[in-house]
Structure 1
Amino acid sequence: MENFQLTEQDRATLQFKVTTKLREAILKGHFKMGERLIQEEWAEKLGVSRMPIREALRQLEVEGLVRIEPRRGAIVTPISKEDIEEIYQLRAMLEGKAVEMSLPHLDEEDVQELEILNNEMAKLKVDEIDVEKYMNLNAKFHKILRSGCPWRRIHGIIDTLWKGIPPYTPSLLVNHLNDSLQEHESMLEYVKRGDSEALKEVMEEHILRTRDKLITIINHS
């Protein structure tokens, strides 16, 4: 089986690194449906205490990748290709519409904040990227883009779809972050132009490209 031992550098952000290791292992098919993840075993494999393992499993339960049962512990429930199709197709439709409706209501302060976030993401070097920082910046960027949409319900539905895998896809698709950065640049340009239709289209493409990359990971597991 793949060597999951963490390096000293990994321990700098311990819980995040542990969660990332386990998430990637589940999505790449290292575990069977229904297999137990035993805290003591994984603490030994990763060279950490049980606490970050316990916290990682709680996070993975929120993402729908494990189910924690009394007396049995964490049971693997891998996300399927169909789950990815559903989540990302819905996100593309709803977020595309949300940013289209949001754009006329964004003010100069919003645009400046988007530019700051975009610049911060662009500064991160892909070969040694701080993925956790990128994830946080990316989530804020998307949130501001759709913040001006006047439809209340669409925000609730999108927030629900963002729970689970979507915020963590940068940790799975590090090699494709340059594509995301280019798409963010396009989004920012369309915001400055006031072109809501083009913004909608690039947002849909951005989300569906991520869908396709995740499905590739699952298909090659």
Structure 2
Amino acid sequence: MAQRQSGGAGGGTGGGAPEGSAITGRASFDEVVSRLSSGYRSIGDMVYEVLRQALLSGAFAPGEHLRQEALATAIGVSRLPVRAALLRLDAEGLVEFHPRRGAVVKTLTAEQLVEIYELRDLLETHALRKSMKTMTADRIASLRRNAELLDSEEEGEGFLDVRVRFYRELYDAERNPRLVELIEDLRSSVGRYLLGWRVSGSRSHHGRHTTLVDHVERGDVEKAETALHDHLREVSEGVAKILSGESDREPDSEFPA
């Protein structure tokens, strides 16, 4: 982890993205630059962290070409640390760096999507079974409160916050921290491709969370697992349509994956 010091790096942010660049109009990237462009020991660490956070937060679209010169101007540094950062991000699997063509934001293939949701199904049904063995009345009450919020709330930042609380409680993150961490990592590996999208007229969360809590409260492991499995299958099919361009979903807020 980079040690921080007071003061900026590279002479400030250099303003927003230059007109005509690959990042024109992406206010979220400017926000990341503004938030992270000062306080790092080295310019290289700062540039790497800015680009990494921008990628993880969806500031760049999958398949988007990242122009080193435009990025350097937006951050307020030379091209050298940008190139070095992109090479690091290539090693992490966030971008694909081509010596002659530059860097491109990595996309999610159909095969990778299938693998991710197969792993999620295995891990989440295991977590559910394990958690139900030690379920308490207090946890059921907490789950029901959050389930009712999820089933009545539109997608967006508030929805995502409640969803995190719900699933951490459902899978008993206190007793199973590593298991829940793995599940959340898999969810995030897909979620960053879906920033800005929602499901129009989807039945993906209307009543689903409350029904799942009903099964859990009754101790019906089979029905609880089936409900969870069906949800993950539905979500994976919806995500596949979004990534293939076959969906009629419109940009608005985040898909409840």
Please classify the TM superposition score into its range, dividing by the shorter chain length. 0.5 to 0.7
8 A contact 1:190–1:196 mirrored in 2: yes
Give the structure with higher Rg (CA): 2
Report the equivalent of 2:224: 199
Equivalences for residues 32-181 of structure 1 within 5 A: 35-37=65-67, 40=70, 50=75, 64-66=93-95, 75-125=104-154, 129=155, 131-147=156-172, 154-155=179-180, 157-166=182-191, 169=194, 171-175=196-200, 178-181=203-206
Q: C-alpha deviations, 1:49-106, integer Å up to 9, x for none?
A: 759xx9xx99xx699543689xx98632111111111001110122012202211312
* Matching residue's letter, 1:141: F
In 1: Cα distance, 2:214 partner to 2:233 partner: 20
RMSD of Structure 2 on Structure 1 (CA): 4.3
**Aligned-pair CA distance for 1:20:** 4.0
In 2: Cα distance, 1:132 partner to 1:97 partner: 28
8 A contact 1:187–1:202 mirrored in 2: yes
| Distance verdict in 2 for CA 1:140–1:100, change over 3 Å | same
| Distance verdict in 2 for CA 1:5–1:122, change over 3 Å | farther
* Structure 1: gaps of 5 or more residues: 44-48
Q: C-alpha deviations, 1:26-54, integer Å up to 9, x for none?
A: 2xx5x3xxx3255847x9xxxxx759xx9
* Matching residue's letter, 1:103: M
Percent of aligned pairs with the same residue?
20
Q: More helix per residue: 1 or 2?
A: 1
| Bigger RCO (CA 8 Å, 6+ sep) | 1
In 1: Cα distance, 2:97 partner to 2:180 partner: 29
Report the equivalent of 1:46: none
**Aligned residues, how many?**
192
* Matching residue's letter, 2:114: E
| Distance verdict in 2 for CA 1:118–1:167, change over 3 Å | farther
8 A contact 2:204–2:235 mirrored in 1: no
In 2: Cα distance, 1:105 partner to 1:167 partner: 33
* Structure 2: gaps of 5 or more residues: 1-23, 33-52, 77-81, 247-257
SS at match of 1:97: helix
Report the equivalent of 1:216: 241
Q: TM-score, normalised by structure 1?
A: 0.65
| Distance verdict in 2 for CA 1:155–1:122, change over 3 Å | closer
Q: TM-score, normalised by structure 2?
A: 0.57
In 2: Cα distance, 1:184 partner to 1:123 partner: 10
| Distance verdict in 2 for CA 1:91–1:150, change over 3 Å | same
